[in-house]
Amino acid sequence: MQAQPELDNFICFAMYTASHAMNRVYKPLLDAHGLTYPQYLRLV
């Protein structure tokens, strides 16, 4: 039986992790303006 690849080896997991980290960083800053990170990206 073939071994299952580790979750860390999937690009989609890496992209999800990076996106989640960015949301955590920007959330306190954007909350003051009533914006979410996707809304901020739309403005930029």
pLDDT (tens digit per residue) in 31-43 = 999 998 889 989 9
* 4 domain residue, yes or no: no
Task: State the Cα–Cα distance between residues 28 and 34, nearest whole angstrom.
Answer: 10
* 25 domain residue, yes or no: yes
* 2 domain residue, yes or no: no
* 3 domain residue, yes or no: no
Task: Find the domain containing 33 and state its range.
Answer: 9-43
* 39 domain residue, yes or no: yes
Percent of the chain scored above 90 by pLDDT?
Answer: 45
* 29 domain residue, yes or no: yes
Q: What pLDDT is stored for residue 33 in this prediction?
A: 96
Q: For the chain, how many residues are written? A: 44
- Count of domains observed in the chain: 1
